[in-house]
Structures are given as structure tokens and as C-alpha cells.
């Protein structure tokens, strides 16, 4: 018997080869009713509601419930949750120099192992996980400082409760409000890298804790969740408003990227930055970081418009996230993990949406390796 003849006429990428878009840019990978990101006009909607209105008139628990259920209940209450004993044992076993994102990822995974989570995911599971993670991050921060974790106060809403468990003091209303605004603007942003990761994991019919654990791992990457840290470093190097213009011009001439400006999606001013700036400027005790940030922003936008008139580079959310997070007393190494807490509402809402009409996410790939060949003899 002779071997069947080989087809050598077809391209090795296959007859169904399609155009490749690096980073999946411009590729429509699904549908969602949760968030609408309008980059051209600088709009962000959660279930149709403008982000600025949600910040002005809502709270993070109300926004989270909106994303999970579609219902707008302005006075919805969601306190932080107690840490299961098994999870606390895991947290105490971590080395004191463990990075907060690594520790939070571990905490969510351990929480999932302790829950016996069933498929499909539920709103109750989303609430429970979103309420658990702030307690876990607060405990992580205290343990590494040699302090004991603090039990939740059920009378406090989630953001104020997180700050209480972190510091041991109930925050003043303005501080809690500023961080709550940050949580709201960070809750949801379409098919970003971490959200898409959560949906991919969910599409395999894995549980909600696995999906969020994977999302946290994605958020850990500096191209996704680390930008506010870099804004802090940038503002430190600027030093003062008097030096801002010279520093900005030198940085642009050197080809440096200005952190907090420009965005993969937005071509207009990031509406999340606008909402955060409004809330931050209303803080009773404006931190020096905020004053410097507003002065530097004005200079940067003016110089960018002068040097790149045909290339729209506007302020993005990270620029004001940094001074807000500093202003409420968080250390910079907690920024990515705190961003992850805020994104829990969106991640878990996408998990619920993916599960409701699930199909395994399995894209095609173009093969670009060598053609079919024999092993050397």
C-alpha cells in the first residue's frame, strides 16, 4: 500500500486564513449589555447610564448591583464580608514581603476553594466575592505591617468598610466619597484584558472564583493595572508646577511616554478622569498631589496640542487615580490591588453575562511555521 499523496497546494495557514490583528485590536469578540465605551466622544455608560451621573448620584454598592441585576437602587447597601478561617490561615502563611497583587490573587483562589462554588455562577456569588476581597486586601496590608486584621463593620458600606479595616479608623465622609468615586469609575470598562480573561475562563464552565483569580493575574501586568504607580513616579520627577513645562518638553523631545495621557480607546478626554477630578477637587483637605496634578495636566495638554496637533492625546483615568489614591492614604504598592477591588463588580457581572448565553471562547489562529516536512534521517 502506498501513502496517500500529500496536498502541497494549500497555504500552510489553511484555506480559511483570515487577517490577523495584533492584540485583537478592532476585533469584535462578543456582545455585552453592561458597559459602552465611546472612545471618539469620550463617553462611558453602565447599562446606559452616564458615568458622571453615577459618580454624582450613586455609590459603588449601587453601581455594582446595577451591573449585576440591571436595577438602579441608589441606597443599595453592601458591607465588606468576614474572611473565612481557612483563607486567613493561607494569608498568615504568606511571606511578609509578598506583593499585594500576588496575595490578593491567592486570597481569591483560597476563597473559591472554601466555597464549593456551583455552576452556573449567581448574583449571590458575585456579591459574596466582591464583599470578601476588600477585607482580604486590608488584612494583607495589616499582616505585612505586623498588625492584626480587623473584622468588618456591617454598618459601613464597602468602600468605607475597606478603609476602616485597612486603617482601624472610620474614614471621614469626603475621604470615603473620593475612594468610592474611584471604585465606581473603575468598576467596568468593556472587554479589557482582565475582563476578557474572566469571560474566557467562564466560557469553559469554570467557577466565578477561578475567573476572578485569572482576571487579577491579568491586572497584575504593568500594561494593564500598574499605570497609576507610574503617574506617581512621574509627578515626583516633575516636582513642582514651576518645573512642569520644562520637564514635559524635555520628556516629549526624548520620546518618553507621558503616563496618564493617551488611551488605547479614548480619543477624547476620558470621562472617568473628568468624574474623578470633580470629586477630588471637592475634598475638604486637598492633598498636595492633587494640586500638582491639576497644574501639570494643564501644561501637558497645552504642550501636546502644540507638538501633536493632529494626534489627540487627552487625560486618562490613571492620571487622577494616582492623586486620589494618595489623597485617601493608600500606599502606592496597593494601587493595582485596589483597582482590582473596584473592577470586581465588572468582572463578576461579565461572568454572569457570559454564563447566561455561554459558548466556549476558542478563536482561530493563523499558522506561520514551516510547511509540512519529514523528520531528518
Range list of H helices, the chain? 51-57, 60-69, 85-93, 100-115, 123-144, 158-167, 173-185, 193-203, 208-219, 227-238, 244-253, 271-281, 288-307, 317-327, 335-356
The pLDDT tens digits of the residues spanning 141-189 come to: 999 999 999 999 999 999 999 999 999 999 999 889 999 999 999 999 9
The pLDDT tens digits of the residues spanning 312-329 come to: 778 887 888 887 888 888
Amino acid 129: pLDDT: 98
- DSSP assignment, residue 285? S
CA distance to 145, 152, 184, per residue, from 170 (Å): 19, 11, 20
Mean pLDDT score, 31-37: 95
Assess whether 318 carries a catalytic annotation: yes
- How far is 348 from 351, CA to CA, in rounded Å? 5
Packed helices 85-93 and 123-144: angle between N→C axes, nearest 10 degrees: 40
| Cis-peptide, bond into residue 120, ω within 30° of zero | yes
Question: Domain 43-225+331-356 classified CATH 3.30.420.40?
Answer: no
Output 145 or 8, whichever has higher pLDDT.
Answer: 145
Output 311 or 334, whichever has higher pLDDT.
Answer: 334
Q: Which of 263, 297, 350, 353 is catalytic?
A: 263
Question: Does residue 265 register a pLDDT over 70?
Answer: no
- DSSP assignment, residue 171? P
- How far is 92 from 168, CA to CA, in rounded Å? 19
pLDDT bin (cut points 50, 70, 90) of residue 16 is low
Q: What does pTM read for this prediction?
A: 0.88
Question: Does residue 277 register a pLDDT over 90?
Answer: no
Bridge partners of residue 269, in order along the sequence: none
- How far is 59 from 178, CA to CA, in rounded Å? 11
Amino acid 143: pLDDT: 97
- How far is 42 from 54, CA to CA, in rounded Å? 16
Question: Does residue 3 register a pLDDT over 70?
Answer: no
- How far is 282 from 298, CA to CA, in rounded Å? 19
- DSSP assignment, residue 36? E
Question: Domain limits of the chain?
Answer: 43-225+331-356, 227-327
Amino acid 145: pLDDT: 95
Range list of H helices, 258-287? 271-281
Q: Which of 189, 318, 344, 353 is catalytic?
A: 318
pLDDT bin (cut points 50, 70, 90) of residue 10 is very low
- DSSP assignment, residue 44? E
Mean pLDDT score, 327-350: 94
Pair 80, 95: CB distance under 8 Å: no
Question: Does residue 13 register a pLDDT over 70?
Answer: no
pLDDT mean across residues, the chain: 88
Mean pLDDT is lowest, of 157-171, 200-214, 252-266, for 252-266
CA atoms within 13 A on the CB side of 33: 11
Residue percentage of the chain with pLDDT more than 90: 58
Question: Does residue 17 register a pLDDT over 70?
Answer: no
Question: Domain 227-327 classified CATH 1.10.230.10?
Answer: yes
Pick from 82, 52, 53, 77: which is nearest to 64 by CA? Answer: 77
Amino acid 264: pLDDT: 63
Assess whether 224 carries a catalytic annotation: no
Amino acid at each position: 500500500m502506498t501513502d496517500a499523496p500529500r496536498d502541497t497546494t494549500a497555504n500552510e495557514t489553511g484555506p480559511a486564513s483570515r487577517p490577523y490583528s495584533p492584540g485583537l485590536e478592532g476585533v469584535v469578540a462578543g456582545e455585552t449589555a453592561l458597559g459602552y465605551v465611546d472612545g471618539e466622544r469620550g463617553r462611558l455608560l453602565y447599562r446606559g447610564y452616564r458615568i458622571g451621573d453615577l459618580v454624582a448620584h450613586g455609590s459603588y454598592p449601587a453601581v455594582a448591583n446595577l451591573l449585576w441585576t440591571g436595577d438602579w437602587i441608589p441606597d443599595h447597601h453592601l458591607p465588606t464580608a468576614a474572611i473565612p478561617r481557612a483563607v486567613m490561615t493561607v494569608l498568615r502563611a504568606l511571606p511578609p514581603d509578598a506583593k499585594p497583587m500576588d496575595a490578593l490573587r491567592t486570597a481569591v483562589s483560597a476563597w473559591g476553594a472554601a466555597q464549593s462554588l456551583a455552576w452556573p455562577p449567581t448574583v449571590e456569588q458575585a456579591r459574596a466575592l466582591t464583599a470578601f476581597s476588600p477585607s482580604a486586601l486590608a488584612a494583607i496590608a495589616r499582616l505585612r505591617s505586623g498588625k492584626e486584621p480587623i473584622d468588618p463593620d456591617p454598618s459601613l458600606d464597602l468602600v468605607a468598610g475597606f478603609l476602616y479595616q485597612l486603617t482601624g479608623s472610620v474614614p471621614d465622609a469626603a475621604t470615603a466619597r473620593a475612594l468610592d468615586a474611584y471604585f465606581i469609575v473603575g468598576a467596568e470598562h468593556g472587554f479589557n484584558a482582565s475582563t476578557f480573561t474572566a469571560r474566557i475562563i467562564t466560557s469553559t464552565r469554570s467557577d466565578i472564583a477561578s475567573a476572578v483569580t485569572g482576571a487579577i493575574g491579568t491586572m497584575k501586568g504593568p500594561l494593564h493595572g500598574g499605570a497609576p504607580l507610574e503617574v506617581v513616579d512621574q509627578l515626583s520627577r516633575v516636582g513642582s508646577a514651576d518645573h512642569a513645562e520644562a520637564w514635559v518638553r524635555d520628556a516629549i523631545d526624548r520620546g518618553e511616554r507621558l503616563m496618564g495621557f493617551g488611551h488605547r480607546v479614548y480619543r477624547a478626554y476620558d470621562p472617568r478622569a473628568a468624574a474623578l477630578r470633580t470629586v477630588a477637587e471637592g475634598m475638604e483637605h486637598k492633598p498636595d498631589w492633587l494640586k500638582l496634578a491639576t497644574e501639570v495636566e494643564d501644561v501637558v495638554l497645552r504642550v501636546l496640542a502644540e507638538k501633536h496637533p493632529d494626534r489627540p492625546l487627552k487625560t486618562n483615568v490613571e492620571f487622577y487615580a494616582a492623586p486620589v489614591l494618595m489623597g485617601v492614604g493608600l500606599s502606592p504598592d496597593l494601587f493595582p490591588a485596589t483597582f482590582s477591588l473596584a473592577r470586581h463588580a465588572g468582572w463578576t457581572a461579565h461572568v454572569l453575562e457570559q454564563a447566561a448565553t455561554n459558548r466556549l471562547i476558542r478563536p482561530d489562529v493563523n499558522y506561520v511555521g514551516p510547511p509540512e516536512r519529514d523528520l531528518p534521517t
